[in-house]
Amino acid sequence: MKYCSVCGSEVRVGVPAGDNRPRHICDQCGTIHYHNPKVVAGCIAHWEDKVLMCRRAIEPRLGLWTVPAGFMENGETTYEGAVRETLEEANARVAVDDLYVTVNLPHINQVYMLFRGRLLDLDFSPGEESLEVVLLGEDEMPWNEMAFPTVSEALRLYFADRAQGQYPVRMLDIVREGGVPGRYQVRRIS
């Protein structure tokens, strides 16, 4: 960041009084610009024993598989974001049951919040961001073609929990292993 989004003046990086982290500071208008993680909201939407999966039509990870999910918009709740993303990416209507897993990705400043949900009907189709939308069972999952480790980890937990007949709220940290892109370590918090 070079310029203040409030007044247009140049900003500097410094630790504001009463803070403990470097921030972008505008000395002209006094605005402190905070950069915080982005929240991704999505849904593990199921019909009987199958989960709704989308093959991505956009980068990143064009052509790979994910559940319907995306960045939240201002003015919406995480629940609303999950419902909106499911409709946008799969033209699917869903009744959200509950929050299922929160995944922290500190190396890219993101937090995933995936809900469990039930498809209301089988009338779904690819949205603008999807090449293909299908229902897949655990044994049909393209595990080697998953777009994001957040999704594969969440789905592995989901299928294991479904086999037990209970869905505790889960929390994971996925961190880059040794700073190497593509190598991750998963820490299960709960």
**How confident is the model over 92-117, as pLDDT tens digits?**
999 999 999 999 999 999 999 999 99
Work out the number of other CB atoms within 10 angstroms of the CB of residue 119.
22
Q: Do 84 and 129 fall into the same domain?
A: yes
Q: Which residue has the tokens 């998963």?
A: 186
**How confident is the model over 13-39, as pLDDT tens digits?**
999 999 999 999 999 999 999 999 999
Mean pLDDT of the chain: 96
Rounded to an integer, the average pLDDT of 143-171 is 97
pLDDT recorded at residue 178: 77
Q: Do 110 and 26 fall into the same domain?
A: no
Amino acid occupying residue 112: Y
CATH number of the structural domain spanning residue 7: 2.20.70.10
Work out the number of other CB atoms within 10 angstroms of the CB of residue 182.
7
61 near 52, Cβ under 8 Å?
Answer: no
| Distance of alpha carbon 178 from the chain centroid | 23
**pLDDT band at 155; cut points 50, 70, 90:** very high
The set of residues, in sequence order, having a beta carbon less than 8 Å from that of 181 and lying 6+ positions away, is none
CATH number of the structural domain spanning residue 85: 3.90.79.10
Domain range enclosing 9: 1-35
The whole-model pTM stands at 0.89
| Distance of alpha carbon 140 from the chain centroid | 22
At residue 188, does pLDDT exceed 80?
A: yes
**pLDDT band at 189; cut points 50, 70, 90:** confident
Report the alpha-carbon distance of residue 109 to residue 111 in Å, rounded. Answer: 7
**How confident is the model over 49-95, as pLDDT tens digits?**
999 999 999 999 999 999 999 999 999 999 999 999 999 999 999 99
pLDDT recorded at residue 115: 98
What is the end-to-end Cα distance of the chain in Å, rounded?
A: 36
pLDDT recorded at residue 15: 97
Task: Tally the domains of the chain.
Answer: 2
Q: Do 42 and 30 fall into the same domain?
A: no
DSSP string of 28-93? TT--EE---PEEEEEEEEEETTEEEEEEESSSSSTT-EE-SEEEPPTT--HHHHHHHHHHHHH---
